[in-house]
A and B are shown apart, each in its own frame.
Chain A
Amino acid sequence: MKFFGYRRPDGRVGTRNHVLILPTVVCANQVAESISQLVRGTVTFAHQHGCAQLGKDLEQTIRTLVGFANNPNVYGVLVVGLGCEGALPEIVSAGIEKSGKPVRSLTIQEHGGTLASIAAGARIAADLVQRASTEQKVECDVSEILLGTECGGSDACSGLSANPVLGYVSDKLIDMGGTVILAETTELIGAEHILARRAASPKAAEDLMAAIRRTEEGANAMGVDMRGSQPSPGNIEGGLTTIEEKSLGCIHKAGSRPLQEVVSYASCPSMRGLVMMDTPGHDIEQITGMVAGGANVVIFTTGRGTATGTPVAPVIKVASNSETICRMGENIDFSAETVISGEETIEQVGERLFGELLAVCSGKLTKSEIFGHHEFAINRIGPTI
C-alpha cells in the first residue's frame, strides 16, 4: 500500500512540508511568532523553557526542540534564539544540521532587538518557504508511516470503540512494516504486566517496568498513590471497575503486536513495529514528545472531545461515540460511533480509519490543522533554577 509523501535528505518520509520557525527559549517566542505571521507557509510554536535548566532536564529540552525540527514533516528550519540561553541557537542548529535539511539561525541580541530580528527572520523564512514550495511528493510505502497514538478526554466508550479501532489500525500498520508509538506511561499502570508479556525482548520488558516505577515514584514523592486513586470516582461512575480495566482500555489503541523497545521522551525509535515512549499523560507533552521522536502522523481518540493539534503533524481526532459529535463535532475527523450502535464491527471501522490515515498522510487536512492548532509543550524533569 502506498501514500504520497516528501522524501527528506536523511531518508525519512514526511506527510507535510512545513517551514518551522523555532524559538529556542521563551524570550524568543514573540519574534518567532511575528516572523511566522509575516510569512505565509511557516509554522511556529511558543514554549516556556530553554533557560535556567540543569543537566538531564536541559538535555531533554534540547533533544525535544532538535527532534521536533528533525521531524520529516519539516522541510527547513529557522532557529530563533535570544543569545544567552541554555538552549543556544548554535547548539540546537548543530543538532538539526545532522538531518541534512536547510537550517538557518538568528540571535536577537546580535541583531539589535525585536524589529530588526523580525525583518531579518522574515527574509530568511521567505527564502525557505519558496524553496520548500518546489518540493514534490513521491509515492512511498506505508511502512514509512510512524504513527503516534494518543487518547485524551476519554469516556466510557473510548475503551470499547475508538481505542480498539485504533488498535486494529496499529496492528495493520505494523504488519505492513510501519511503526506505532504507544505513550503516556501513567495510563499503563495497572496493565503493565500484560504489555510486558508481549515484550519482544527481556530488555523491552525491563525498560517498561522501569518506566512505570519511575512514574509511580514521582507521584509518591508528591504524596499521591497512583494505584490507590485509580479508577477515579468519575471513571467508576462511568463503569470502569478496576485500574486494570481502565489501563487495558487505554493500551488497546496500540493493538496486540509485540513491544519492540521502550524509548525515552522525544527520542527516535531505533526499531520498527510497536514502540513505547516514556511520556506523561499530559496530552500536549505527549504529542510533542512523539512528534520530536519522528511521528509523522498522530491518531488521537477522544470521548469528551478536544481540539488540540501540533504545529508540524496532522492529528486525526477519532470520536468514541455520537455524544462526542454533538459536543465537539467541529473538531472531530472520524467517528467510531457505529461500533457502539452495532452498525459496524471494530474491524469494519478499523478498515475505514486505515483508509483515512492514508488519505491524511497523502495530504488531506485534519480539523486541528485547518483551525491552526499549534499546541506545544515540553516535558520537564528538573527544576527551573
Chain B
Amino acid sequence: MGLGREALHVHEKDNVAVALCALKAGTIVKVSTRGGAEVTVRLSDDVPFGHKFALRDIQQGESVIKYGEVIGVATRPIRQGQHVHTQNVDSLRGRGDKR
C-alpha cells in the first residue's frame, strides 16, 4: 500500500497510533509521528484495521489521547504496542457496549 505505511499518528500529542491495515502480534511498526520523530513499536497484540495501539506505556487512570484530545481513560496499565480499545479504555462521557 503506497509507501508501505502501516500506522497513522494523527496529532503530535497522541499516545496512540491507528493501524492502516490489519497488523499481527509480533509485527515491528515504524510510526512517523506528527512531531517529526520516528517511533518503532513491536506489537504485542493483533491490531485490526482502523484500531489503535499504544505508542508508549500508558498508566492505569492516565488519559488516552487522540486528535490531541482526551478520548478516554486507561482502565488497566497499557504497554507500548498493545491494542488499545474497549478492553482497556473507558469513556469519560458515556460508552456504547455497556448498558
**Interface set of A (CB-CB < 8 Å, partner B):** 155-157, 159-160, 164, 190-191, 193-194, 226-233, 235-236, 238-239, 241-245, 248-249, 252, 338-343
Contacts and interface: CB of A to CB of B under 8 A. Distances in A.
Nearest to A342: B5
A81 B72 CA distance: 53
B8 A160 contact: yes
A156 B47 CA distance: 13
B20 A229 contact: no
B51 interface: yes
A159 B50 CA distance: 10
B37 interface: no
Contacts of A243: 91, 93-96
Contacts, number: 103
Contacts of A239: 18-19, 48-52, 85
A161 to B, nearest CB: 8
A231 B72 CA distance: 13
Nearest to A161: B8
B93 A248 contact: no
Interface of B: 1-5, 8, 10, 18-20, 48-52, 64, 66-67, 69-72, 84-86, 89-99
B3 A248 contact: no
Contacts of A226: 94
* 4 cross-chain pairs, A with B, having the tightest CB-CB distances, nearest first: A342-B5, A227-B94, A156-B50, A341-B2
A233 B96 contact: yes
Contacts of B92: 242, 244
Contacts of B85: 236, 239, 241
Contacts of A228: 94-96, 98-99
A379 to B, nearest CB: 24
Contacts of B71: 241-242, 244-245, 248
A244 B93 contact: yes
Given A194-B69, A242-B71, A341-B1, A236 B48 contact: no
A239 to B, nearest CB: 3
Contact of A248 (B67, B89, B98): B67
Contacts of A157: 50
A230 B5 CA distance: 30
A254 to B, nearest CB: 13
Nearest to A225: B94
Contacts of A339: 8
B16 to A, nearest CB: 9
A124 B64 CA distance: 62
A242 B3 contact: no
Contacts of A241: 52, 64, 71-72, 84-86, 89, 91
Contacts of B19: 239
Contacts of A155: 50
Given A228-B99, A244-B72, A238 B50 contact: yes
Contacts of A159: 67
B66 A245 contact: yes
A242 B67 contact: no
7 contacts: A236-B86, A239-B48, A243-B94, A244-B91, A248-B67, A248-B69, A341-B2
A230 B50 contact: no
A282 B52 CA distance: 29
A242 B99 contact: no
B4 to A, nearest CB: 7
A341 B84 CA distance: 22
